[in-house]
Structure 1
Amino acid sequence: MGGRAASGNGGPTTGDGAVRTPRLERGRSALGPALELVHTGRAPTRAVLTSELGVTRATAGAVAAELEALGLIRIDARPSAAAGAQGRPSHRLSLADDGPVALAAQVHSDGYRAALVALGGRIVASAPGREIIGPDPAHVLRSVVETGVRLLEETGRRCVGAGLAVPSAVAEPEGTALNPLHLAWPAGSPVREIFADRVREAGLDGPAFAANDVNLGALAEHRHGAGRGARDLLCVATGHRGVGGALVLDGRLHTGSSGLALEVGHLTVNPEGHPCHCGSRGCLDVETDPLALLTAAGRTPDPNGSLLTQARELIRTQKDDPAVRAATEALIDRLGLGLAGLVNILNPDRIILGGLHRSLLDADPERLRAVVADRSLWGRSGGVPILACTLDHNSLVGAAELAWQPVLDDPLGALTAQG
């Protein structure tokens, strides 16, 4: 009867009695890991995919073919070798240019932006919305989803789900925005539920998610940007108002026991500084955001324009103005002090800065790094790399990652369920 025998659960066994998983079943279980490898750029060829999955060439080929049949990736018809590469040429793998997209949205103090984001973190289309953010989250989220629907109609893309980035800690598992300090929303607004309702009303397929904007920016940068390859990644960013932080530990976003970890905006960096919304004084949130820079430079903010854009333009176009230079240096010193404290506590292997903080780093990288080194316990001996975030609209890309995650977990199941 040969070396195989019927097992008790109906599956074939090896000669030593171990149950052998059929190749088709092994391939199906590898669809998600395979898609994530291509999605994050870690499997550019079928040979690399085979190695990373730890499967046979035949199984890797079957997996890639099924992902292509789902409209998620493309396989080059002819194998090719990279310049200088050794060994047998391999079929190159790429993400489908015309594949499905996730609807991503970000709400901030100056309005909102909606976008369609494909696999690989590629923004296919986006549209900003200038709108006064009133006390009812449902109002602006209806506008957000309507904008996204128009983008879907214009592009003809299939939507796998929706993700929302908000400037607030978002409690898990409720999905409530606990402290939308720079919006008029009530504390504890059920933003995930409201967003999901608007998505369903629009007739869109797929689940809907919501999370803190800086957490999502860090997730996007870790998968597709300046954080790729970092094990313990610290992200600190200031957008239109306020300061947020996020931490990726051992490759996974760290959100704490209920989604509220790393509220770095409320580290005190200037005890005699401005009063903060949290009740303290001199926090990063009010000492290193765009309004802080404009105020320190003696500029009156334009109420009709983006504070972030105004602050960035001030640094870019008037950096030699004594008042602008002094304000920039003051914010760099305060930011460096906050980063040093975080380095002492968290010991990250990389720091990335976004929003206005990215502009402060560009303005005087040596000054910022020197402040961190002088004030951190391990700064002089280790020298933690401090880099600028590289993705445009990384919070939008991160919001899309939330919507893509069910597909990355189970491509066949997620796409089949949506019909």
Structure 2
Amino acid sequence: MNGKVTSARTKLERGRSALGPALELVHTGRAPTRSVLTAELGVTRATAGAVAAELEALGLIRVDSRPAAAAGSQGRPSHRLSVDDSGPVVLAAQVHADGFRAALVGLGGRIVATAPGCLTVSSDPAHVLGAVVEAGEALRRESGRRCVGAGLAVPSAVAEPEGTALNPLHIAWPAGAPVRDIFAEQVRAAGITGPAFTANDINLTALAEHRHGAGRGAQHLLCVATGHRGAGGALVLEGRLHTGSSGLALEVGHLPVNFEGRPCHCGSRGCLDVETDPMAFLSAAGRAPGPEVGLLHQTAEMLRYEYDDPAVRAAAEALIDRLGLGLASLVNILNPDRIILGGLHRELLAADPDRLRAVVADRSLWGRSGGVPILACTLEHNTLVGAAELAWQPVLDDPLGALA
């Protein structure tokens, strides 16, 4: 009798330990059916069915036990699995040079609602983060959804474990501002339950693209991107962000690509940060910059609609060569199996993909490294989706514990 009880308890514990991995498989679209879930988890059909039923009872996924069969298929189709569109959400927030945005994001990276904020960011982080949390809480009240956590993306390296913004160069915050503590305090004050997290915006772009976009399936994903000013990078290894010993890894913006180039904020000269961003492009093209909040849009429009202009083409080729040199150095150091580009870098790739890939291949070691795929980021609002991934992680790790 005791043996049967022990066996039943072991099966129950095994099933519950599979809840998190199962939820992540559905969340990232890697287990669209129960049969795929069974194979991915390496469990019996009965265990996979019990796990799916438990996640459905928690309001996290939906199980369609009678899906329509595909044309020409034989046999009974497997139960289809999808995230529950009416399930809980998390608050995702982003602060950048041209303001902030708040959103509610469900599982699967699906944005439920968004609220754009002001177009200027004050020098007081508490004021800004209070406003963005207030906007998010208004969305939550209007939706009536359960909110289980919050995530914030900031345009700065975020030191671990302190959670301080070390270099918010393009917003007027003081260096070393305790953004994680401020954000968590504002979240609690708004009555939002669940943990609050803060991280660098490019890191979160990479995480979102790895789970739901152009980086899906990569084992060693390198992301390099620009905003209105500057450039950043991130690395996702085996599904997790590589942030280094204190959260400061992959500061690729300070990789030299032009030793006679423009002075950089870091004290060096010719860094990727100031040689491949929108200001660098406009300077190379001999164009006057518009308002800072529109620099990325201004340069993207030029590349899309004025590429026949000799000055625009020459500027693009110069930045592509600098970007390619930087990417080749990173390929030689990191050996990624995929590179994704965002912001102006994505537009440069679209303008002349062959040139960029040729520069990377020419400067890469061992031949094979030069063939690494270089793709454009594909998700809309990928930084917000990445901020949501931070907040969803405790649920993905332990659905029962996080939602208790």
TM-score by length of 1: 0.92
The question of whether the paired residues in 1 share the 8 Å contact of 2:262 and 2:274 is answered with: yes
CA distance in 1, matches of 2:298, 2:276: 14
The answer for the alignment partner of 1:117 in structure 2 is 105
Match of 2:211 among 209, 223, 227: 223
The answer for the alignment partner of 2:86 in structure 1 is 98
Q: 5 Å matches for 1:144-293?
A: 144-293=132-281
* Cα displacement (A) at 1:23: 2.9
Match of 2:381 among 393, 406, 410: 393
**Residue type of the partner of 2:66?**
R
* Cα displacement (A) at 1:130: 3.0
The answer for the alignment partner of 2:56 in structure 1 is 68
Matching of residue 34 in structure 1 with residue 22 in structure 2: yes
Measured at CA, do residues 220 and 239 of structure 1 come closer, stay the same or move farther in structure 2, by a change above 3 Å?
Answer: same
Matching of residue 77 in structure 1 with residue 65 in structure 2: yes
RMSD of aligned alpha carbons: 1.8
The question of whether the paired residues in 1 share the 8 Å contact of 2:320 and 2:355 is answered with: yes
Match of 1:331 among 314, 319, 322: 319
> What SS is found at the alignment partner of 1:139?
helix
CA distance in 2, matches of 1:82, 1:234: 36
Between 144-153 and 125-134, report the one with greater CA deviation: 125-134
Matching of residue 132 in structure 1 with residue 120 in structure 2: yes
> What SS is found at the alignment partner of 1:195?
helix
> What SS is found at the alignment partner of 1:32?
helix
Matching of residue 12 in structure 1 with residue 34 in structure 2: no
> What SS is found at the alignment partner of 2:18?
helix
The question of whether the paired residues in 2 share the 8 Å contact of 1:374 and 1:380 is answered with: no
Measured at CA, do residues 86 and 240 of structure 1 come closer, stay the same or move farther in structure 2, by a change above 3 Å?
Answer: farther
> What SS is found at the alignment partner of 1:188?
coil
* Cα displacement (A) at 1:379: 4.4
Bigger Cα Rg:
1
> What SS is found at the alignment partner of 2:117?
strand
* Cα displacement (A) at 1:306: 2.2
Between 114-123 and 71-80, report the one with greater CA deviation: 71-80
Deviation string, structure 1 residues 137-157 (Cα, Å, up to 9, x no partner): 111111111111222223222
**Residue type of the partner of 1:205?**
T
Measured at CA, do residues 100 and 332 of structure 1 come closer, stay the same or move farther in structure 2, by a change above 3 Å?
Answer: same
The question of whether the paired residues in 2 share the 8 Å contact of 1:80 and 1:92 is answered with: no
CA distance in 1, matches of 2:104, 2:294: 22
> What SS is found at the alignment partner of 2:6?
coil
**Residue type of the partner of 1:156?**
G
**Residue type of the partner of 2:383?**
S
* Cα displacement (A) at 1:127: 2.4
CA distance in 1, matches of 2:95, 2:367: 36
**Residue type of the partner of 1:60?**
A
CA distance in 1, matches of 2:292, 2:267: 28
Between 396-405 and 104-113, report the one with greater CA deviation: 104-113
The question of whether the paired residues in 2 share the 8 Å contact of 1:108 and 1:240 is answered with: no
Matching of residue 410 in structure 1 with residue 398 in structure 2: yes
* Cα displacement (A) at 1:83: 4.8
CA distance in 1, matches of 2:233, 2:156: 11
The question of whether the paired residues in 2 share the 8 Å contact of 1:80 and 1:90 is answered with: no
CA distance in 1, matches of 2:233, 2:334: 12
| Residue ranges of structure 1 left out of the alignment (5+ in a row) | 14-19
Deviation string, structure 1 residues 309-337 (Cα, Å, up to 9, x no partner): 22212212222222211111111111001
Match of 1:349 among 332, 337, 344: 337
CA distance in 1, matches of 2:159, 2:67: 48
Matching of residue 321 in structure 1 with residue 309 in structure 2: yes
Measured at CA, do residues 387 and 83 of structure 1 come closer, stay the same or move farther in structure 2, by a change above 3 Å?
Answer: farther
CA distance in 1, matches of 2:110, 2:331: 31
CA distance in 2, matches of 1:408, 1:62: 17
CA distance in 2, matches of 1:85, 1:47: 15
* Cα displacement (A) at 1:109: 1.1
* Cα displacement (A) at 1:302: 2.2
The question of whether the paired residues in 1 share the 8 Å contact of 2:331 and 2:364 is answered with: yes
CA distance in 1, matches of 2:163, 2:25: 29
Measured at CA, do residues 284 and 83 of structure 1 come closer, stay the same or move farther in structure 2, by a change above 3 Å?
Answer: farther
| Residue ranges of structure 2 left out of the alignment (5+ in a row) | none
**Residue type of the partner of 2:52?**
A
The question of whether the paired residues in 2 share the 8 Å contact of 1:266 and 1:284 is answered with: yes
Deviation string, structure 1 residues 19-70 (Cα, Å, up to 9, x no partner): x743332222211111111001111011111121122222211211121111
**Residue type of the partner of 1:320?**
D
The question of whether the paired residues in 2 share the 8 Å contact of 1:235 and 1:245 is answered with: yes
CA distance in 1, matches of 2:347, 2:313: 13
CA distance in 2, matches of 1:77, 1:380: 46
* Cα displacement (A) at 1:79: 4.3
CA distance in 1, matches of 2:142, 2:320: 43
**Residue type of the partner of 2:118?**
R
Number of aligned residue pairs: give it: 404
The question of whether the paired residues in 2 share the 8 Å contact of 1:100 and 1:160 is answered with: yes
> What SS is found at the alignment partner of 2:341?
strand
The question of whether the paired residues in 1 share the 8 Å contact of 2:218 and 2:337 is answered with: yes
The question of whether the paired residues in 2 share the 8 Å contact of 1:293 and 1:327 is answered with: yes
CA distance in 2, matches of 1:131, 1:199: 22
